[in-house]
Chain A
Amino acid sequence: MHDLTISYGGEPVLEGASLAVGDGSFVSLVGPSGSGKSSLLRAVIGLQRPLSGTVETGLAPSQIGILFQDDALLPWKTARENVALGLTFNGMVRGKALAEADAWLARLDLAGLGDRFPRRLSGGQRKRVALAQVLAMRPKLMLMDEPFASLDAIVRARVVKDLVALVEREKISVLLVTHDLEEALSLSDDVYLLSQGPRARITEHYDVPLPRPRDPVLSRTHPAFAPLYERLWADLSREVDQRAEAA
């Protein structure tokens, strides 16, 4: 992504943002609320046309999956049908797509819940279904917009752990948007910091030298974690403070 500027008509929300997601790497984007993180992800997948700048993925649209903040499952379709949906859009026959959906549900610990409608699933289960829906497409790149924000800590840790294992195994590149600095560091190879908007910019980039495969909980106890966390936290606080003074 190069020199991306996004505007909703008035002053640009986000200006001159450039970042790179390497093949199979896990990249997080952190930044204050309203800095344009969601807008940036929407630009990558074509839901939002940037004012200027370019996004290059070298991938077909069906190879990019996006996980929204809310799960956005179709309420009138069962979990299985929801997961099969993208597969049938891309030409798979229904029977095969449903079988594939069952396999993904099982992989995400949802075996036996395929016939449930989303209303009858818990928040964590719905999130897993949404994850299965995206993973079933076998994406090369996953975009995630605070997908776990609504989950309680324990459920969240479990979903994240499954996700990391799958992503590492399938060598999927990930661009994760999050408020949660710890989560960003514990999961990522690279973290980018977005300044406070409007006219938000990418101000910092951090390399995260934690080893892979990773355990998203235990990696927080790695000696390299604390210093990085401190730096990231200081930079983010400074960013927010500066804006507060300017205002």
Chain B
Amino acid sequence: MMRLDPRYTWMRQVAALAALLAVWEAADRANLLNPIYAPSPSRVGAALVDLFADGRIWPHLEATFGAALGGLALGILVGVVLGVVAALVPFIAELLEPVMTVLNAIPRVILAPLFVIWLGIGLASKVALSFILVAVLIFFTVFTGIRQVDRRLVERVVTLGGNRRALVRHVYLPSVASWVLGNLKIAVGFAFTGACVGEFVAATEGLGYLLSFAQSTYNAALMFALILLILVVVLLIFGLAGRLEKHLLRWN
């Protein structure tokens, strides 16, 4: 077997992708593909350029970002608080755990229509969907995490003379932070899923709304362009989340 130099993996991958796109483009030029279903890379590129050229993409990007980041922040906040409270107060845990378990088991995006009825087709229903996706994830991360805090660390701090506050500050908070950060990328993915699906269901702006518009007008080029755009956006945020994680968990 041929030995592959792992240093050039990315080069081979890029070359393969370029080849695929070239074949695709050539097939289109030769009229082998129906652009209604499979628009060529150049058509998709043109649609993408179009979105930015007349500037109409910006309010949509803003709407989706707003919903996703709003839901993410709220979801992390509420998930952490509920997780901590449930881990510390058995009575609350009894009440919360079954609810969260059910919410965790169902595909939570099915709540999207309900949120539209309750909160309207504006930003709030998208934030709510994003929020519920993230909050349940974070709740379980924190709840199970706190119960599994390393007993030895707790005992170490206690035997060095640390009080309850010291325990929270030096053991519990850093542990919680590390689990939340460890799940940050998944949470970001969930947040954008919530925002886009919410917009897809009923909205007047946002990337999800544009997608549903592209669908209803059979505009495959626009759809590909949007999918590409969402991909890039999420990857960018993943990159940021990864850097944050790396910095804050540099002890690991």
Using a CB–CB cutoff of 8 Å, the interface residues on chain A facing chain B are 45, 47, 61-62, 65-66, 68, 70, 72-78, 85-86, 89-90, 117-119, 133, 137
Looking at B135-143, B170-178, B225-233, the stretch in contact with chain A turns out to be B170-178
Q: What secondary structure prevails in chain A residues at the interface with B?
A: loop
B35 at the interface (CB under 8 A from A): no
Report yes or no: B153 in contact with A74, Cβ–Cβ below 8 A: yes
Number of B residues near A (Cβ < 8 Å) is: 20
Report yes or no: A90 in contact with B161, Cβ–Cβ below 8 A: yes
Residue of B nearest to A70 (CB): B152
- Given A76-B251, A119-B252, also A62-B161 (CB < 8 A): yes
A137: which B residues are within 8 A, CB to CB?
Answer: 160-161
B155 at the interface (CB under 8 A from A): yes
How many A-B Cβ pairs are below 8 Å? 54
B166 at the interface (CB under 8 A from A): yes
Report yes or no: A72 in contact with B252, Cβ–Cβ below 8 A: no
- Given A72-B152, A76-B251, also A66-B162 (CB < 8 A): no
Known interface pairs A73-B156, A74-B174, A90-B161; 17 further A-B residue pairs with C-beta atoms within 8 A, sorted by A's residue number: A62-B161, A66-B159, A72-B152, A72-B153, A72-B156, A74-B156, A74-B157, A77-B170, A78-B251, A85-B157, A86-B160, A89-B162, A89-B163, A118-B251, A119-B252, A133-B160, A137-B161
Report yes or no: B156 in contact with A76, Cβ–Cβ below 8 A: no
Report yes or no: A45 in contact with B159, Cβ–Cβ below 8 A: yes
Q: What secondary structure prevails in chain B residues at the interface with A?
A: helix
Using a CB–CB cutoff of 8 Å, the interface residues on chain B facing chain A are 150, 152-153, 155-163, 166, 170-171, 174, 178, 250-252
In whole Å, how far is A143's beta carbon from the nearest beta carbon of chain B?
9
Residue of B nearest to A62 (CB): B161
CA A117 to CA B158, docked complex, whole Å: 21
The 5 closest A-B pairs by CB, nearest first: A86-B160, A89-B161, A117-B251, A72-B152, A72-B156
Report yes or no: B174 in contact with A76, Cβ–Cβ below 8 A: yes
